[in-house]
Amino acid sequence: MSKYRVQGGNRLVGDIYIGGCKNACLPILSAVVLANDVCRISNIPNISDALLSLDILEALGAKIKRINKNTVDIDPRTITSHVVPHDLAQHMRASYYFLGSLLGRFGDARVSMPGGCNFGVRPIDQHLKGFQALGATVPAIIENGMIDASATQLIGNSIYLDVVSVGATINVMLAAVKARGTTIIENAAKEPHVVDVANFLNTMGADVRGAGTDTIKICGVRVLHGVEYSIIPDQIEAGTYMACAVATGGDIILHGVIPKHLESISAKLREMGAQVSEDDDLVHVIMEGPIKACNVKTMPHPGFPTDMQPQVAALLAIAEGTSIITESIWDNRFRYVDELRRMGAQATVDGKVAVFQGVKSLNGCPVKAVDLRAGAAMMIAALAANGQTEIEDIQYIERGYENFLEKLHSVGADICRIDIPTITSMRA
Ligand code: EPU
């Protein structure tokens, strides 16, 4: 068990290099199952969720060779199992992507109900509806925590998603790329990571068109080849450090980003008073003066991403005036507000709406990371706060932010990791 100790008040200045996108990496690692030869995947973020995906691949029988810190060779030819063990699947939401890829490869997939961050009910009915439309048998009700999907032959079909779902869009793509005939996904998610997965599949020889729009057309192919592929940069990691710059009145240049993917975040931070400028693969954020209050509503891409909602809330907690945040993707993504309140934030939550009455400053105290992005929000609040904050449950943060402490430290944050002795080791 570890926690972060943060001494607030330092102005963050300097350069940060952004890693690969978690939410593209996880489905891409699952998609390797579909290839008939070795795939070299680079720009894999150094996060625990990516390591877990590699563990799942190994448990299925794939051979993994680490080339360097962010690059691996994966040989899927030795995969023989179509069962993702519960002890691995339970820790990560994205383990459900193995349903689509194993179904596409073997016509059979058995995956334990996925775990992941808890922000309300997280159904997968649209994934199952998609598999069923392709001819798979799926469970009407999930028993014993396992999901079984099987098909003698997947056959292309038209699928209208009732909700815009990143997971269902990608999972149906994974199952459909080797199906017989053409699949059309309507009301598809348009996130950059959906496009990246489609690009990866196409590099392997798939025929996926329209990713990034709300209609995706997939013509099934018989074989997908081994390829070399580099994952896109992480939009949310970049957005989080942009928020750190704003929180501390700082000046940070983010390198290795795709500025277009950051447009909705940049626009919101400008509304809060930040100067945000862009060049080829960098974004520069300078904050001078007080943060201005504003309203935020999360939406599917290209709207403001739900995965940046807690981080901007930490900013609005210390903005001048009143801000309203409306969460329109998840039912219960304001659990972190109680933690911000412990630091002195004035906020009320009513269902999917939170109102922040900005305070002059927050005060450091012990807080918890209740989920991944909530943990990032705690860090932002702590960096801006008076005094010292200790953030517990950092395993959530390390699921999605690579070298978090090192990157923040490199721009001047006063921050360290403390190992908390377990009861057993205290007794020993
Ligand atoms: N939904 C359904 N049925 C489904 C699938 C989704 O009703 O079958 C609903 C969900 O309950 C939610 C909405 O549709 O209200 C959107 O869910 P989506 O399927 O898009 O979410 P996801 O694929 O489970 C991914 C990211 C999340 C991110 C959301 C929304 C991964 C591994 N996770 O989740 O990322 O919040 O899309 O953009 O890609 C994070 O990185 O911190 C994170 C939580």
Query: Is it the case that residue 144 has pLDDT exceeding 90?
Result: no
pLDDT at 236 over 50: yes
Residue 237 lies in a domain: yes
274-288: average pLDDT: 97
Residue 144 and residue 73 in one domain: yes
Predicted confidence at residue 426, as pLDDT, reads: 42
Give the strand pairing for 322-326 and 346-350: unpaired
217 and 313: one domain?
no
The answer on 414 and 304 residing in a single domain is yes
Q: What is the pLDDT of residue 139?
A: 78
Task: Check pLDDT > 80 for residue 294.
Answer: yes
Domain for residue 388, yes or no? Answer: yes
Q: Provide the pLDDT for residue 116.
A: 57
Which pTM was predicted?
0.96
Dist. CA 319–CA 334, nearest whole Å: 18
Mean local confidence (pLDDT), 385-393: 98
Could you tell me if residue 428 is inside a domain? Answer: no
Mean pLDDT of the chain: 95
For residue range 255-266, what is the model confidence (pLDDT) as tens digits?
999 999 999 999
Q: Which of 21, 25, 39, 117 is catalytic?
A: 117
pLDDT score of 286 more than 90: yes
C-alpha 77 to ligand 1 mean position (Å) = 30
Q: Which two tokens stand for residue 141?
A: 């009700």
132 with 247, same domain: the answer is: no
Same domain, residue pair 226 and 246: no
Residue environment code for 370-400, b if the CB has 16+ CB neighbours within 10 A, otherwise e: bbbbbbbbbbbbbbbbeebbbbbbbebbbbb
Tokens of 400: 């999605």
- Residues flanking ligand 1, CB < 6 Å: 22-23, 26, 93-94, 117, 122-127, 163, 165-168, 189, 306-307, 329-330, 372-373, 400
Residues 89 and 154 in one domain: yes
- φ, ψ at 21 (rounded to 5°): -75, 120
CA of 145 to the centre of ligand 1 (A): 19
For ligand 1, the distance from its centroid to the CA atom of residue 166, given in whole angstroms, is: 6
Strand runs labelled E in 57-115: 63-68, 71-75, 83-84, 108-112
Query: Is residue 41 domain-shared with residue 174, that is, in the same domain?
Result: yes
**Residue span of the structural domain in which 147 resides:** 22-230
Same structural domain, 52 and 157: yes
Judge whether 286 lies within some domain.
yes
Same domain assignment for residues 126 and 224: yes
Confidence of residue 425 (pLDDT cuts 50, 70, 90): very low
Pair 300, 155 in one domain: no
Query: The domain that contains 90 carries what CATH number?
Result: 3.65.10.10
Please tell me the residue having the least CA distance from ligand 1 atom 11.
122
Domains contained in the chain, number: 2
- Contact of 298 with 328, CB cutoff 8 Å: yes
Residue range 24-42, pLDDT digits in tens:
999 999 999 999 999 999 9
Q: What is the pLDDT of residue 29?
A: 98
Cβ neighbours for 380, distance < 8 A, ≥ 6 positions apart:
240, 243, 244, 247, 311, 314, 315
Active site residue 244: no
Helix H segments across 93-223?
97-106, 125-133, 166-176, 192-203
pLDDT in tens, 107-130: 999 998 766 556 666 789 999 999
How would residue 8 be classed by pLDDT, with cut points 50, 70 and 90? very high
